[in-house]
Structure 1
Amino acid sequence: MDFGKSSWRTYEQGIQREWLLTNGIGGFSSSTIIGSNTRRYHGLLVASLKPPVSRHLILSKIDECVTIDNESFNLFSYEVPGFIMNGYHHQERFEYDLHPKYIYRVKDVYIEKEICMVYGENTVAVVYHVINGASRTNLRLTPLVNFRDYHFNSSRAYMNFDRKSKKDVLIVRPSCYDIDISLYLSDGKFTELNDAWFYNMDYAVERERGLASTEDHYIPGYYDIEIEPMEEKYITFIATVEKNISQKDGLQIIEKENNRLHKLIDKAGYKDELAKRLVLAADDFIVHRESTNAKTIIAGYPWFTDWGRDTMIALTGLTLSARRFEDAKEILYTFSKYVKDGLIPNMFPDAGHEPPYNSVDAALWYFEAVNKYIKYTHDYKFIKEHIYEGLKEIIDYYSKGTHFNIKADKDYLITAGDEHTQLTWMDAKVGDWVVTPRHGKAVEINALWYNALKIMSSLSKHFEEDAGLYDEMAEKVKKSFVDSFWNEEKNCLYDCLTQSYKDDKIRPNQILAISLSNPIIEGDKAKSIVDTVLKELYTAYGLRSLSPREKEYVGVYAGDQYKRDGAYHQGTVWTWPLGQFITAYLKVNNYSPQAKKMALRFIEPFKDHLQDACLGSISEIFDGNEPLIPRGCFAQAWSVAEILRAYIEDVMQLI
């Protein structure tokens, strides 16, 4: 992906595209293509101190200044209240393949800056390649250091740092914390500054979100690098919170990471460029969790951690479609150890306390993930030894009842929650305001319930156990489902049922009745549901969470948290249900050549989106109204996963 000056004619245009690097343990590096940080989550090093959580901003950015013939030129860009520094005027190109690369030119001097993280470490390397012209040139690098939780902004009033040098490494230590921030430069002279700070860096995205948007950064000093006339030089800058700097050659760090990423592409085995790009995107979300000593899935960057529901929905695309079978196995096994009263954790909290189990669908998605694992690997032995008993427990508790009023009703359909709880994926709640009340019998929960029973029946038969109970329950669920959820007037399914009310709002949840491994609706009714969803909810980047025909529809996801949460599932477009929709569309059209062409049309818009918002990844959500502006997390696990899964399994039919 190559971008030039036409992509940053104005500052506002230049900050529209962002990039992301990850380190496999929850840490990351991120900024915009003009190098201006517009989020509190932007930084060259956001370290995960307790992988994959306890994330802290360590190094905000490095400000570069070039002096040629006694004339200085700032290459950096930023915003403070009332002023924009426009160093991007000197930027000629931005390249993003496996890593971001900035290319600047000042007079006859070219400066390239490439950024790379060390996999498995909270370490970032920034490599400068200077191609000097006819004059002696000085490159000054000024690091902006911080140490704060990545969800909050910092202020000079609450920050103090100590400094010391250890051989060729500058160590900056935040007062009152037992942690060293180590800075290393391969070439140059360091000049210490006393009580130097960058004040009031302003973050446009946080301002737009109605949050505090300014913060301060600590400047320990600056580095000067002299470049002789016509000299070509590579300079490595490293920042880390590891105890030791394991590698000081930036070019070798980049080469090692490139090799790792190319191996992932080779392992997946796809020749298609979109598939390869999505395999790379998938890698960002698969990380190591220290507390379980196993792999887990980060739900989204820059602010989510690992959630049970998101993990189970994303597992197929991120791991199985990418041929990372051992990672899939590890994740399934880890969650099997946390099955409790028929539920699996909805998330693992940052603080490391007992995980919450407030999800009705996470445990049911677990069955679909297990079934997909078997489809890809045929590894029944692992399922029998480590997973099967947990699945039995889930079915048992859902049948007789468990926490949050989750239980099978007299009609064998699952009912859950009350007017105060949000247990489905549409879980926005502001104070006591339940934005999308879906307690009772939700359509996708019962589609998942039927699917789980059919999977248990299949597994039981394979393990030569009695499957009669599961078969009998599944048939009763199917009959009740069709009788209860079919909406004759709108030719689709009701979204949610209570004892006194049938919610006929058109939402995307009904598509799971067709798309799962064991569809509960087939034939003409299934075709009608797909047609209705296509007409009412489909957009280029996903499905609207509510039809624009409904009076509750909100078409723009913007403003403060109250307004944003009020729009979250009331019209906002979500990408992940589109993967399920593509599967359902092809099913009801018998995978005909015409249907495959249409399905490919559903995929095509993402080729453009991968070069927008967060380069190489897929956003969490988009406005329901055109022009479908990307919102929320700029890189979302289940968005990437479901597009990759549907593309591989259904469009290309490689599984």
Structure 2
Amino acid sequence: MTTPAADLNQAERREWWIANGRGGYAAGTVAGSLTRGYHGLLTATIDPPLGRRLQVAKLDATLIDGERQWPLFTNRWADGCVEPDGHGLIDSFRLDGRMPVWNWACGDLLVEHRIWMPRGEDSVWSVFRLLRGRPGASPRVRIALLLADHDHHHIGHKGDFDPILTIDGDTRVTARCADGHDIDLIAVGGHMGIDRAWMEHFALPIEHERGLPDQQDLLRVGFAELSLSTTAWCGVLATVALDAKTAPVPNPEQALERFRQHDRALLQTARTHHNQLPDVPAWTDQLILAAESFLIERPIGALPARQPQTKGMSVIAGYPWFGDWGRDTMIALPGLTLATGRPEIAKRILETFAGFVDLGMLPNRFPGAGETPVYNTVDAALWYIDAWHAYIAASDDLSALARVFPILASIVTHYREGTRYGIGLDPADGLIHAGEPGVQLTWMDAKVGDWVVTPRIGKPVEINALWYHGLRVMADFAERLGRDSQRYRSAADRARAGFARFVRPDGSGLYDVLDGPEGSDGEGARIRPNQIFAVSLTHSPLDTPAQASVVEVCARHLLCPFGLRTLAQEDPDYRGRYEGDVWSRDAAYHQGTVWAWLLGHYALAEYRVTGNAAAAQARLAPIADHLRDAGLGTVSEIFDGDPPHHPRGCPAQAWSVACILDAWTQLERIRVAIG
């Protein structure tokens, strides 16, 4: 994957992101400049997986050849100056799998630069080699070591980081942080020196756009001096690994090859799993690699005896600012694990979350160390049933199903009898109601102060589509385990009859919410995308004409190349651009903004109405272009509702990647099966 690089606007618009499987990450722009406070070469999970701290902000390299010097980086400053402007020296940029690769053209020299994070380590490599030189030349690279030590949500300022600096021989600089952990910087192919100075007033233009603090100071602790060669890599290994002092320094060539082998293994696993799919396009391979970034191991602490594991797995909802969320994890699980041929990881995630089901609910936010789970979500537990449905369909793992069935049954029982936040069954129509004033329980959860932007108290359409689907799944599970399924089937029949109330008499799809508070009928009548799940889920409560109406309405009012709008354009509250300060952005979040994860569900729904798998699959094709924009090789969280649908929000979002990959895989299987 290549992309424009010498143009500053293009090079800053495009970002690369790498994750380490612990919740940590490395990120930056193609230009090498910082545009977000979250950009940095090593954001480490000091308290995994949510205690993430920026440790190494930049390793700014300058190529030196005799009297000539070229900066292989770019910096933006608060006074508007761009200095140096090394992006103009970029000959090419590409992703090698997930690894960013630059070629720098400096006179008659051509230098390759690579960055990667070893999986499972709070470490990052930044290495160089000479691709083209001239006889007798002895070029070298001088790297400024710019550090920080603060929560990745914060911005660092001069004086708030005062490490104790030591040097071991001439190849390792150690910065001892206030809490006692070390940041180690190790030179490979050269030597280190301490030279302490604050570098002040880095500009962060994206934070400025978001109405947030937009200037950052970084501490330079020294320099690395490295000798360039055409036969070996030189560079810096930065790490906060506990064994960094005693372990031998890895060979960069071997470390690089291990990273590339891991990427190749991910693709091979997926291809083996999908051996009946002969023509997998390159962009779906890129999604398979992107899926790896969101899967993390996490300590799970003391859990009930039913928990079979000592170390769990979860999903980071999006980089850079999300942690692991129950709803996002379950929605993303089929695409991240099953579409990539790794059902064993799906099982680990599902069993990890089994230990946190309480009163029939799954946490909205997964707990960190010492935190209490937050259960303010009505849909996460229903998506949990759907995720088990996908896993069992892929694995036929009835022993795991037998273990978890009582937990799944408890979800249904609590939803029928009532649980937190007014969630419960209305016996009059068999539908689920939910909500309390000031609390938002569905995925449309934006709130500005006391203002709930999209109040959906009552009976939301997607909750009841999930409820019907879940009851049908539970009936099937019960039968497979030799248990009584009739109570689930009866409840499903009742829910299906009640669901007919969502069908609008004017033929314009479904109401968004039924039976809301007095005076909220207009909210329920708005055209929103939540109705698509009544068609995209395996078990639909709608007849064929109603399904066709839903797809037609979504296509006419909501469909965009990269997803579905959250509100029809003709609605007076529609906001076509997600921009401005926090208030403005939250006000637009579900009032017209396009969400990419909905595109996969739309494609599945379209197929179920038309029977044309190829045409439905073609809806996903624009994502191939998006992979070369914004977060390179991955899929953004959201897009503007108005053309040209600029990418916004998190540049790497789990359910965006997952739902598109899952839909493409399902539709490809169907397309191949029917010839």
Task: Please give the TM-score of this superposition, normalised by the length of structure 1.
Answer: 0.95
Q: Partner of 1:541 in structure 2?
A: 562
Tell me, in whole angstroms, the C-alpha distance in 2 between the residues paired with 1:233 and 1:342: 57
Q: Partner of 2:298 in structure 1?
A: 289
Task: Give 1:512 deviation, angstroms.
Answer: 0.8
Contact persistence 2:600–2:620 (CA under 8 A): no
- Establish whether residue 222 from structure 1 lines up as the match of residue 220 from structure 2: no
Q: Partner of 2:82 in structure 1?
A: 84
Moved more, 444-453 or 290-299: 290-299
Q: Partner of 1:240 in structure 2?
A: 239
Q: 1:188 to 1:376 in 2, by over 3 A?
A: same
Tell me, in whole angstroms, the C-alpha distance in 2 between the residues paired with 1:259 and 1:577: 33
- Establish whether residue 299 from structure 1 lines up as the match of residue 317 from structure 2: yes
Q: Partner of 1:578 in structure 2?
A: 599
Q: Which residue type is aligned with residue 550 of structure 1?
A: D
Q: Partner of 1:100 in structure 2?
A: 100
Q: Secondary structure of the residue that 1:422 maps to in structure 2?
A: coil
Contact persistence 1:557–1:564 (CA under 8 A): yes
Q: Partner of 2:306 in structure 1?
A: none
Q: How does 1:155-170 map to 2 (within 5 A)?
A: 155-167=157-169, 169-170=171-172
The C-alpha deviation readout for 1:12-46, integer Å capped at 9, x for no partner, is: 22101111111111111111112112111111111
Q: Secondary structure of the residue that 1:530 maps to in structure 2?
A: helix
Q: Partner of 2:382 in structure 1?
A: 364
Tell me, in whole angstroms, the C-alpha distance in 1 between the residues paired with 2:89 and 2:514: 60
1:260 to 238, 259, 262: 262
Q: Partner of 2:360 in structure 1?
A: 342
Q: 1:504 to 1:218 in 2, by over 3 A?
A: same
Task: Give 1:167 deviation, angstroms.
Answer: 3.9
Q: How does 1:324-335 map to 2 (within 5 A)?
A: 324-335=342-353
Task: Give 1:490 deviation, angstroms.
Answer: 4.4
Q: Secondary structure of the residue that 1:493 maps to in structure 2?
A: coil
Q: Which residue type is aligned with residue 252 of structure 2?
A: G
- Unpaired stretches in structure 2, ≥5 consecutive residues: 302-310
- Establish whether residue 643 from structure 1 lines up as the match of residue 660 from structure 2: yes
Tell me, in whole angstroms, the C-alpha distance in 1 between the residues paired with 2:312 and 2:369: 18
Tell me, in whole angstroms, the C-alpha distance in 2 between the residues paired with 1:491 and 1:204: 42
Q: Secondary structure of the residue that 2:457 maps to in structure 1?
A: coil
Q: Partner of 1:153 in structure 2?
A: 155
Q: Partner of 1:623 in structure 2?
A: 640
- Establish whether residue 408 from structure 1 lines up as the match of residue 407 from structure 2: no
Task: Give 1:201 deviation, angstroms.
Answer: 1.1
Task: Give 1:178 deviation, angstroms.
Answer: 1.0
The C-alpha deviation readout for 1:571-595, integer Å capped at 9, x for no partner, is: 0000111111111111111x2xxx2
Task: Give 1:350 deviation, angstroms.
Answer: 4.4
- Unpaired stretches in structure 1, ≥5 consecutive residues: none
Q: Partner of 2:515 in structure 1?
A: 498
Q: Partner of 1:530 in structure 2?
A: 551
Tell me, in whole angstroms, the C-alpha distance in 2 between the residues paired with 1:407 and 1:179: 48
Moved more, 102-111 or 161-170: 161-170
Count of equivalent residues: 643
- Establish whether residue 379 from structure 1 lines up as the match of residue 397 from structure 2: yes
- Establish whether residue 510 from structure 1 lines up as the match of residue 512 from structure 2: no
Task: Give 1:232 deviation, angstroms.
Answer: 5.3
Task: Please give the TM-score of this superposition, normalised by the length of structure 2.
Answer: 0.93
Tell me, in whole angstroms, the C-alpha distance in 2 between the residues paired with 1:231 and 1:101: 16
- Establish whether residue 520 from structure 1 lines up as the match of residue 520 from structure 2: no
Task: Give 1:175 deviation, angstroms.
Answer: 4.4
Task: Give 1:10 deviation, angstroms.
Answer: 3.3
The C-alpha deviation readout for 1:500-520, integer Å capped at 9, x for no partner, is: 443110001001111112111
Tell me, in whole angstroms, the C-alpha distance in 1 between the residues paired with 2:66 and 2:185: 29
Task: Give 1:244 deviation, angstroms.
Answer: 2.9
Q: How does 1:460-471 map to 2 (within 5 A)?
A: 460-471=478-489
RMSD between superposed Cα atoms in Å: 1.6
Contact persistence 2:6–2:89 (CA under 8 A): no
Tell me, in whole angstroms, the C-alpha distance in 1 between the residues paired with 2:269 and 2:486: 40
Task: Give 1:427 deviation, angstroms.
Answer: 0.4
Task: Give 1:180 deviation, angstroms.
Answer: 0.5
Identity %: 37
Q: Which residue type is aligned with residue 201 of structure 2?
A: N
Q: 1:83 to 1:316 in 2, by over 3 A?
A: same
Q: Secondary structure of the residue that 2:223 maps to in structure 1?
A: strand
Q: Which residue type is aligned with residue 207 of structure 2?
A: E
Q: Secondary structure of the residue that 1:158 maps to in structure 2?
A: coil
Tell me, in whole angstroms, the C-alpha distance in 1 between the residues paired with 2:133 and 2:56: 27
Q: Partner of 2:121 in structure 1?
A: 121
Contact persistence 1:132–1:232 (CA under 8 A): no
Q: 1:89 to 1:464 in 2, by over 3 A?
A: same
1:398 to 402, 409, 415: 415
2:190 to 174, 188, 191: 188
The C-alpha deviation readout for 1:242-266, integer Å capped at 9, x for no partner, is: 1234542111111001111111111
Contact persistence 2:6–2:91 (CA under 8 A): no
Q: Secondary structure of the residue that 1:221 maps to in structure 2?
A: strand
Contact persistence 1:147–1:174 (CA under 8 A): no
Q: Which residue type is aligned with residue 82 of structure 2?
A: I
Contact persistence 1:126–1:250 (CA under 8 A): no
1:280 to 289, 294, 304: 289
